[in-house]
Amino acid sequence: MTSARSRLGSFVARMADTAPTPAAVLFGSPVFGALMGLVAGIDLYDRNQFLTPQWPAVLAMFFLGGALGFAPALWLSRLAFGRRRRIARTMGATLVAALATHLALAALFALEYRFYYSHWHAPAFTIVWGFQFAFTTLSAAYQFTVISFSIYGFPGAAIFLGFGLWFGRSSH
């Protein structure tokens, strides 16, 4: 019993030790969010020179997704790859940054999708509503996943690799 408690205690201590500092989150989140907004801006300009009337909302969603995904990406990268060799830290952090950012953006897209379709759904917290909620959220996340590959493109891959290189160089 004490062995399990000591392992749990050491795991909790490791999780706390790998948490990003408030300064890293305070400065890194807006920078990473701005870079994700830049990725969306490049894609919007390339597609139609910002002729879409919703372009400010798209840029805001990508900014928020990048800003919300930065801290979990940094924390999970430190937790999973902080003690590895430099190349493993770099590649692992690149993958974690891409996934964390994508999941944050997909969650925001699913919230927006859900808000739009909620007008036609059953009353809240009924069984039918539960199915509608689950499948609307899943379909929004799937739709965003398919769309996002063309949006991220080369600039997004370069930014995620830049995050990985920064993490691989700075982590101990």
pLDDT tens digits, one per residue of 111-150 = 998 888 888 888 989 999 999 999 999 999 999 999 888 8
* 1, pLDDT greater than 70: no
**CA–CA distance, 141 with 113 (Å, rounded to integer):** 9
pLDDT in tens, 11-67: 778 788 888 889 999 999 999 999 999 999 999 999 888 898 999 999 999 999 999
At residue 172, the pLDDT reads: 53
pTM: 0.86
28 Cβ contact partners less than 8 Å away, ≥ 6 residues apart: 20, 70, 71, 74
Q: How far apart are CA 31 and CA 69, in angstroms?
A: 12
- The predicted pLDDT at position 12 comes to 79
HSE on the CB side for 172, CA within 13 Å? 2
Distance separating alpha carbons of residues 65 and 80, to the nearest angstrom: 22
Q: What is the pLDDT of residue 17?
A: 84
Would you state the pLDDT for residue 7? 76
pLDDT in tens, 146-169: 988 889 999 999 999 999 999 998
